[in-house]
Structure 1
Amino acid sequence: MNGSHRPRTALAMARDAATAVITSEALAALGRVGDLVPDTVLDDFTTERARSVLGDVEVLVTGWGCPPLDAAALAAAPRLRAVVHTAGSVRGHITQECWERGIEVSSAAAANALPVAEYTVAMILLSGKQVVERAREFHDTRRRDEWLGLSRGVGNYGRTVGILSASMIGRRVIELLRPYDFHVLLHDPYVSDEEAKALGVQPVGIAELFANSDVVSVHTPLLPATRGLVGRELIASMRHDAVLINTARGAVLDQDALTEAAQARRVRAVLDVTDPEVLPPGHPLWECDNVMITPHLAGSQGNEWGRLADLAVTELGRWAAGDGFAHPVRRERLAYLA
């Protein structure tokens, strides 16, 4: 493959995802590095139009809502050699048949990790000052609290932050925390002591992480081995008034145990994900004033979608030039990825 090669390329995702993420500028940029099928978004691989397009594409630029690239879809796409995904996880559409065929896969997980990490650090800092609770009280009373009488548990100086999993997001959170006066613990069984030292964190067991942290931030992908990982015993071991932040997946936590701890005012929580999403209207977590629930907004939204599209353009350009993907998804790493 040489630098002049412009691979036949098509978009494959939900139409609203294409509208949100792939702007006219992004379309033009994709068209400069690939021979982009015009005015086409594939959201169903079984239609006559889709099969016509798939017949000569070399690259699919995928996104949220892309149908599975199963055996039937691949049979209709004999020239397909690469997939450039404009979101994070590829589990929804990259099938075993894709790996068996040797299709190269890229993901924008690295780009999507950035706003999640920024959200996490913001919540760590805000929770240290108890901003949400104190703002609510200020709204209700219309007067300042007795700030000189505040507990010394309020504030961000010298707090201990526990990071559960050195995932892509977890590592970015660690990086963003470096300028602050925090002591950072990490639990990740796949990270060696030497690597933890390089990251600037203290490696600990999971029980020590929960027992000794003022804030625990969960960045563990939802896998069979991690479902319910943060269980009743770990939640019960947390320091009084500690904060549990979850931007990973709701099912990583024992939500019933967290609800009981929050209702008893033993812990606070910031949840960008729940199980299910959205919680039923009568769920008791809605009524806990020491729990903030946000609508799965930590990941890329609004102008942040531009970062995903930019990464896709760069990846397509690299692949077309024969340089390979900068952000490849490896088959052997799937067991550890979200």
Structure 2
Amino acid sequence: MNNQTRHTQFGREELGRLHTIASLGQPLSAPDLNSGAARARLAEVEVLITSWGCPALDHHVLQAAPNLRAVLHAAGSVRGHVSDAVFDRGLLVTTAADSNAEPVAQYTLGSILWAFKKVPFLAMDARRSREDWSYVHSRGELSGRDRTVVLVGFSRIGRRVVDLLRTLDLARVLVVDPVADPAEITAAGAQPTTLSQALPQADVLSLHAPALPNTHHMIGAAELAALPPGAVLINTARGSLVDTAALETACRAGLHAILDVTDPEPLPDSSPLYNLHNVVLTPHIAGSLGSETRTMAGAALTELERYAAGLPPLAPVTRQSLTTQA
């Protein structure tokens, strides 16, 4: 991990806990893995705790780490640094994605509740119209009850959003996920369905699918056109799930959108989405930031404790699981 991430995630409490579990060497910053000094250190390492900014653990790096047995990631997706060579070696890989799911689900819930009332969009209208309130009902239904929320992806985050919505009992929740067990979706209090069936019913469409070849541009012109008037698209997953050109066209025509992720990211200065009053853009802030990231460090330390005690991991990542997960 890079130095900034290390200092943010591993404070006095986390470092104290780490020292009680294992012998801790001097942390390696990202640019150092191919240096002679880093390779000398890697030769001694049994467990790597990684996070944002970790370079790829490819065949050459692994050759320098013959004693390496586990890679414990104190962040979400491991795609950026865990290569096939890691799985070829049979190394244990874990993720702290469960911890990262909490703030994303909370951001999503807040966005859904605001979407019901069109809060961010009406706030922009208020700045333009001032004392003239004739615009209030121009954006469609403003009720916070008896609405339909469609979640694409019954992922770690999607499941938490279902739980939060059911606790508030504000909306009917439809879930689109061809991989998830329909019985699990039903047991969670939501209704499994298909994308084509769900879209025309969506007051809010919230995306929680991973970025995979088969999810690239899964929301395109046809899908956006199927949404009813007044619907709100929320994307806290990956920008590549949505065809940006189609999204720009749909938003120009009136689609409301709350976008924490885009494709590309950030959008170029020329993007029309910056200037539309029915679009809210945030700079990829839904996930863990600041002190929130320490819960992810804590999750990695829990995995280390379990590894040291000979217990199975709580959140393992396998080559197979990466085919359906972020």
> Structures share a fold, TM > 0.5?
yes
**2:176 is matched with which residue: 184, 187, 191?**
187
> In the alignment, is residue 278 of structure 1 matched against residue 266 of structure 2?
yes
Counterpart of 1:220, as a letter, is A
> In the alignment, is residue 98 of structure 1 matched against residue 78 of structure 2?
no
Mapped to 2, the partners of 1:335 and 1:43 lie a distance apart of: 29
Counterpart of 1:17, as a letter, is T
Partner of 2:146: 158
**TM-superposed deviation, 1:14:** 1.7
Superposition CA RMSD, Å: 1.8
> In the alignment, is residue 72 of structure 1 matched against residue 60 of structure 2?
yes
**TM-superposed deviation, 1:150:** 7.9
Partner of 2:14: 26
> In the alignment, is residue 122 of structure 1 matched against residue 110 of structure 2?
yes
> In the alignment, is residue 269 of structure 1 matched against residue 257 of structure 2?
yes
**1:316 is matched with which residue: 300, 304, 325?**
304
**TM-superposed deviation, 1:42:** 5.0
Mapped to 2, the partners of 1:233 and 1:150 lie a distance apart of: 24
Mapped to 1, the partners of 2:324 and 2:92 lie a distance apart of: 18
Alignment of 1:295-334 (within 5 A): 295-334=283-322
**TM-superposed deviation, 1:330:** 2.0
Mapped to 2, the partners of 1:61 and 1:148 lie a distance apart of: 51
Mapped to 1, the partners of 2:239 and 2:136 lie a distance apart of: 38
With over 3 angstroms needed to count, the CA separation of the structure-2 counterparts of 1:76 and 1:152, relative to structure 1, is closer
CA contact (8 A) 2:125 2:135 kept: no
Alignment of 1:41-60 (within 5 A): 41-60=29-48
Q: Secondary structure of the equivalent of 1:17?
A: helix
**TM-superposed deviation, 1:111:** 0.5
With over 3 angstroms needed to count, the CA separation of the structure-2 counterparts of 1:239 and 1:77, relative to structure 1, is same
Partner of 1:239: 228
Partner of 1:5: none
Q: Secondary structure of the equivalent of 1:275?
A: coil
Provide, for residues 43-67 of structure 1, a one-character-per-residue CA deviation record: whole Å limited to 9, x for no partner: 4311111111101110000011111
Q: Any stretches of 5+ residues in structure 1 without a counterpart?
A: 1-12
Q: Percent identity?
A: 42
Partner of 1:176: 164
Mapped to 2, the partners of 1:183 and 1:226 lie a distance apart of: 24
> In the alignment, is residue 291 of structure 1 matched against residue 279 of structure 2?
yes
**TM-superposed deviation, 1:264:** 1.1
Counterpart of 2:281, as a letter, is I
Q: Secondary structure of the equivalent of 1:251?
A: helix
Mapped to 2, the partners of 1:176 and 1:203 lie a distance apart of: 17
Mapped to 2, the partners of 1:252 and 1:148 lie a distance apart of: 32
**TM-superposed deviation, 1:96:** 1.0
CA contact (8 A) 1:44 1:67 kept: no
**TM-superposed deviation, 1:151:** 7.7
**TM-superposed deviation, 1:274:** 0.6
Partner of 1:202: 191
Alignment of 1:252-267 (within 5 A): 252-265=241-254, 267=255
Q: TM-score, normalised by structure 1?
A: 0.92
Q: Relative to structure 2, which stretch is displaced further, 244-253 or 146-155?
A: 146-155
Q: Any stretches of 5+ residues in structure 2 without a counterpart?
A: none
Q: TM-score, normalised by structure 2?
A: 0.95
Q: How many residues align?
A: 325
Mapped to 2, the partners of 1:152 and 1:297 lie a distance apart of: 28
Partner of 1:227: 216
Q: Secondary structure of the equivalent of 1:221?
A: coil
Provide, for residues 289-325 of structure 1, a one-character-per-residue CA deviation record: whole Å limited to 9, x for no partner: 1000100000000120111111111111111111121
